[in-house]
Amino acid sequence: MRLVALVLSLGVLCAGTADAATLQPVGDFDQPIFVTSDPANPDDLFVVEREGLVVRSEEGDSGVFADLTDLVSCCDGERGLLSIALAPDFDASGRFYAAYTGRPAAGGAEGDLRVDAFHFASGALVREPLFSVEHSINANHNGGQLEIGPDGYLYVSVGDGGGEGDPFESGQDLGSLLGKILRVEPYAGATPQVWSYGLRNPWRFSFDRANGNMVIADVGQGAREEIDLAPSPAPSIVGGEGVNYGWNCLEGFIAYTDPGDSCAGVSNFTDPVFDYPHDPGGNCAITGGYVVRDPSVGDLYGRYVYADLCVGEIRSLLLPAGAGGLAGDDRSEGLGVVKPVSFGEDSCGRVYVIAQGGPVYRFEGATPATCPPPSTVIPSTASDPGAQPSTVGPSAVSHPPSRLLLETGRRRPGGRQLGLLLVARLAPCPGHAGERVLLYRGGRQLASKRFDARCAARFHVRIAHRSTFRALLDGGYRSQVRTIALAKPSP
């Protein structure tokens, strides 16, 4: 036991078998809280530091990418910069999103949860506020995970407002944004939609990159920690809309000891797929991870990894295939870090874990993963010489050797709307001419066309605000998500 404690105190306990996954350090940071990567370059990492810095790290060379410290309220309780998400077209737009508890300088009261977009213009960081949630009373239960869903929308987790036992009864209140998973179109002025509710503190959630399933790890009160699953009903469609996960009527699978009045007569709960107790073992708060889709890590592939903040042991389990099932085969991976505060995933599918003290580790197998090269630029087919080329990264590769691309063509302004040509193209093409390709906008089917002899399908659409598009083809082909915005009028 003393040896185990000593190794854990150094930051990491590695697996004992040669073919098992190990944890390899990628760097030390100041209060890191989240890690992600450039959508087109998995080796270009972005590490979120709680006090408000976003650090860019590539092959051991690190530097500050963005400084939000003037906006971020840290570090009372659980406050701080909580997570970021990079836009799918980040290489072209430089746009990213941040969730943080704000200072009054950010607008609102100290501690309010804010979600903003940022980009650089003339070397200066430009802020574009999206929305905020009042959260000034208590410094805990902020949630704060950001993820771009397979439908192109931005998803945000928000805690119940803090305190103990949900004193505001936020979990069951559909008029409140607290205790929810929210969905929002990622542009200024968009109104967040309550996607699912009945959550206490969904500190971390993720999407399975193989099938789009949403997995939510909800931190419990005093008895149970839980994992919730929202299966995707179809490609590029996010599940879980309108689902009630039960807080504060339930805690895990059991009835909560002090439910609010809002629980009276309510029975439309969706049970978790897994929960575990605080005792024995000293568990206190679940840190949710990802379904591992890195084939280099052996039988960890396809398993959901998670940990508990107070124990540090990394565990994994198998999630059910659909609604109504239960997770199984929960096991220890023989790995651990001191106070695991977050997991992360890069655009190659490699998974990371962050220790509260500063180290960030990557899961690696005996042979490290081979990731695709950084994105390449595909020339546009547009006749408009001012049209922007498409940037295609590893996320666009769904079924090699062919790739389904979604390119932007001619843009024709028309009043408050934009006329746009979108071209879906499969390359290489042989054997797919005449097949039907579907175009989705914001996760909903918009149109369908058949490929011509060159495996191209052209869609003419009109948009009135920032919109997200994706093309789908039978056989598992999915294009990258394209985000299109109206051009701002000249001053």
223 and 325 assigned to the same domain: yes
Q: What is the pLDDT of residue 408?
A: 76
pLDDT of residue 18: 45
If one counts the domains in the chain, the total is 2
Domain-ending residue, one of 340, 364, 388: 364
Length of the chain as a residue count: 491
How far apart (Å, rounded) are the C-alpha atoms in residues 141 and 145?
A: 12
CB contact set of 160 (below 8 Å; sequence gap of 6+): 141, 166, 168, 170, 171, 178, 179, 199, 200, 201, 247, 248
Specify the CATH number for the domain of residue 258.
2.120.10.30
Q: Based on the fold, state whether residues 8 and 154 are members of the same structural domain.
A: yes
3-state helix, strand, coil in the chain (%, to 5): 5, 45, 50
What is the H or E stretch that residue 449 is in? strand 444-450
Residues 55, 187 within the same domain: yes
Q: Within a domain: residue 370?
A: no
339 and 210 together in one domain: yes
Q: What is the pLDDT of residues 309-359, one digit of tens each?
A: 999 999 999 999 888 899 999 999 999 999 999 999 999 999 999 999 889
Residue 490 lies in a domain: no
- The whole-number pLDDT of residue 348 equals 94
244 and 390 assigned to the same domain:
no
Is the residue at 369 inside a domain? no
- Rounded to 10 degrees, the C-alpha dihedral 381/385/388/392 comes to 30
Distance (Å, whole) CA 158 – CA 144: 6
Same domain, 427 and 338: no
- Residues contacting 488, CB < 8 A, separation 6+: none
- DSSP annotation of 5 reads H
Res 83: pLDDT:
98
* Domain assignment of residue 371, yes or no: no
Shared domain for 312 and 392, answered yes or no, is no
DSSP 286-342: EEEEEE---GGGGGGTTPEEEEETTT-EEEEEEPPSSTT---EEEEEEEEE-SSEEE
* Residue that has been written with the tokens 């295939």 in this structure: 321
Give the domain extent around 398.
378-484
**How many CB atoms are located within 10 Å of the residue 452 CB?**
13
Q: Do both 139 and 172 map to the same domain?
A: yes
Asked if the structure places residue 491 within a domain, the reply is: no
Last residue of a domain, one of 364, 390, 418: 364
Q: How far apart are CA 199 and CA 272, in angstroms?
A: 11
145 and 35, same structural domain? yes
Residues 319, 400 within the same domain:
no
SS3 (DSSP) at 105: helix
Evaluate whether residue 479 is within a structural domain: yes
The answer to whether residue 372 is domain-embedded is: no
Q: Low-confidence residues of the chain, pLDDT below 50?
A: 1-18, 375-401, 489-491
Q: Are residues 432 and 323 in the same domain?
A: no
> Are both 437 and 296 inside the same structural domain?
no
CATH code at position 393: 2.60.40
Last residue of a domain, one of 306, 334, 364: 364
Is residue 6 a part of any domain in this protein? yes
